[in-house]
Amino acid sequence: MNKLEELIKEHCPDGVEYKKLSKVASVERGNRVVREQLPKEGKYLVFQNSLIPLGFYNQCNYKANTTYVIGAGAAGDIGFSKNDFWAADDCFPIVCSSALNDRYAYHYLLSKQQIIYGKVRRGSIPRLSRQIIEDIEIPVPPIEVQAEIVKILDNYTELTAELTAELTAELTARQKQYEYYRDLLLTFSDVDNSQNVHVETESRAVRWLTVGELCDISRGRVISKMDIQEHNGPYPVYSSQTESNGILGYISSFDYCGEYLTWTTDGANAGTVFYRQGNFNITNVCGLLKPRTDLIDIRYLYFALSVLAKKHVSSGMGNPKLMSNVMSRIRVPVPSIKEQKEIAALLDRFEAICNDMNAGIPAEVEARKKQYEYYRGKLLTFKEAV
């Protein structure tokens, strides 16, 4: 029998009373402040209509270790402050009585998150009535039992936070390692074999050719979101964005088939280069490169331009651009095709490791989150006292 079971057997063997939250806590409303009142530097965080602080204030109106619920904007979001803070008028702080552990209340409200979201009034500004929070029924075991439950659940959340930090640090280190070796291999300086990097080559002497000498260069066409809706199909449409590999949507036809490089010509992501293969389309804010000589390996060119293209982006008039005429003039080092393939193969392995880790981190964190939610549900479910 574990400690929690022993405590339940000792303090509440016949079940637990469920009470409305308003019977064991005061669901309060914060005090209004506006952004103009907030100094550039202040001691206390201000929470208003989001879990993201509005700013800092030089006063606090609630003590540390207080649970709060957002009442407007990100209505229904549940926060917990480990420090003194200022709650503004769209924030509902929950001041617990001696019968309710503050952190226990937080974990229990999180278990009802989806139900709370379902009570939010959807309008131009989503809103949640304070009465909804007050009427939530919460099991109120003896405070000793609550404290043990908090200890168990906090341990899960701390382990998840530690895991996320460790995985993120590992990914950052791998990405820096990848960038270091990529830049090393593409600058054609001497390779230090003590770094366990070896590329067999007859000579490091290379010639430099422009993209225009190596590739046919073209640009995509206008494809609107309406076009995608009206001609939905299996073939991707790539745009200037970088999220989701640049995919804007899918349509029923394709303009290109084979291996190509594309790059973003306009906007915040200008100069970002992608390797494409198969059947696809690109919009008018994408450029297209197709090697037209056997002097260049397309994967090697992808890695080379991933470094070089960003250096040629023009940021004039607040709209970054890398147009076709500029792309055509970018000079690329062209070693032997054998060396290009070796460099590309090595960088492909590095990139695959980074991509696998990048995909794995959310999956691992989500698994831990589900584990926490499972045990939270088990620990916060009690037989109701008659």
Between 358 and 166, name the one with better pLDDT: 166
Give residue 50's pLDDT band: very low, low, confident or very high (50, 70, 90).
very high
Please tell me whether residues 127 and 96 are part of one structural domain. Answer: yes
Query: In sequence order, what are the residues at sequence separation of 6 or more whose Cβ sits closer than 8 angstroms to the Cβ of residue 132?
Result: 116, 119
Q: Which of 248, 254, 241, 256 is nearest to 225 (CA)?
A: 248
The answer on pLDDT for 124 being more than 50 is yes
Please tell me whether residues 124 and 21 are part of one structural domain. Answer: yes
The answer on pLDDT for 190 being more than 60 is no
Q: Mean of the per-residue pLDDT values for the chain?
A: 88
Q: What percent of the chain has pLDDT over 70?
A: 95
The answer on pLDDT for 275 being more than 80 is yes
Which pLDDT does position 199 carry in this prediction? 42
Please tell me whether residues 170 and 236 are part of one structural domain. Answer: no
Q: How far apart are the first and last CA of the chain?
A: 25
State how many domains the chain has: 3
The answer on pLDDT for 354 being more than 80 is no
Which pLDDT does position 349 carry in this prediction? 87
**Residue 7 forms part of a structural domain:** no
Query: In sequence order, what are the residues at sequence separation of 6 or more whose Cβ sits closer than 8 angstroms to the Cβ of residue 269?
Result: 240, 241, 242
Domain range enclosing 189: 143-196+336-386
pTM: 0.64
Please tell me whether residues 60 and 96 are part of one structural domain. Answer: yes
Domain boundary among 290, 316, 334: 334
Domain boundary among 297, 319, 334: 334
Please tell me whether residues 113 and 190 are part of one structural domain. Answer: no
Alpha-carbon distance of 93 to 98, in angstroms, equals: 16
Please tell me whether residues 358 and 340 are part of one structural domain. Answer: yes
**Residue 246 forms part of a structural domain:** yes
Domain boundary among 334, 356, 374: 334
Q: From residue 364, give the alpha-carbon distance in Å to each of 169, 271, 368.
A: 15, 32, 6
Which pLDDT does position 144 carry in this prediction? 95
Please tell me whether residues 230 and 244 are part of one structural domain. Answer: yes
Q: Return the bridge partners of 138, or none.
A: 19
**Residue 3 forms part of a structural domain:** no
Which pLDDT does position 204 carry in this prediction? 54
Q: Which DSSP string corresponds to 117-165?
A: HHT-B-SSS-B--HHHHHT-EEE---HHHHHHHHHHHHHHHHHHHHHHH
Average pLDDT over residues 269-289: 94
The answer on pLDDT for 285 being more than 80 is yes
**Residue 298 forms part of a structural domain:** yes
Which pLDDT does position 171 carry in this prediction? 80
Give residue 46's pLDDT band: very low, low, confident or very high (50, 70, 90).
very high
Q: For 200, how many CA atoms within 13 A lie in the half-sphere containing its CB? A: 1
Please tell me whether residues 128 and 166 are part of one structural domain. Answer: no
Which pLDDT does position 101 carry in this prediction? 97
Which pLDDT does position 154 carry in this prediction? 93
Please tell me whether residues 43 and 99 are part of one structural domain. Answer: yes
Please tell me whether residues 28 and 84 are part of one structural domain. Answer: yes
**Residue 1 forms part of a structural domain:** no
**Residue 201 forms part of a structural domain:** no
- Among the residue ranges 24-33, 65-74, 221-230, the one predicted with the least confidence is 221-230
Give residue 361's pLDDT band: very low, low, confident or very high (50, 70, 90).
confident
Alpha-carbon distance of 335 to 350, in angstroms, equals: 21
Please tell me whether residues 345 and 291 are part of one structural domain. Answer: no
Query: In sequence order, what are the residues at sequence separation of 6 or more whose Cβ sits closer than 8 angstroms to the Cβ of residue 233?
Result: 250, 251, 252, 253
**Residue 2 forms part of a structural domain:** no
Give residue 197's pLDDT band: very low, low, confident or very high (50, 70, 90).
very low
Q: Return the bridge partners of 316, or none.
A: none
* Dihedral sign for Cα atoms in the order 147, 151, 156, 157: positive
**Residue 186 forms part of a structural domain:** yes
Please tell me whether residues 238 and 252 are part of one structural domain. Answer: yes
Is 116:83 a contact under the CB 8 Å cutoff? no
Residue reference for tokens 């005061």: 26
Give residue 200's pLDDT band: very low, low, confident or very high (50, 70, 90).
very low
- CATH code, domain carrying 277: 3.90.220.20
Q: What percent of the chain has pLDDT over 90?
A: 60
Q: From residue 145, give the alpha-carbon distance in Å to each of 22, 142, 371.
A: 20, 5, 21
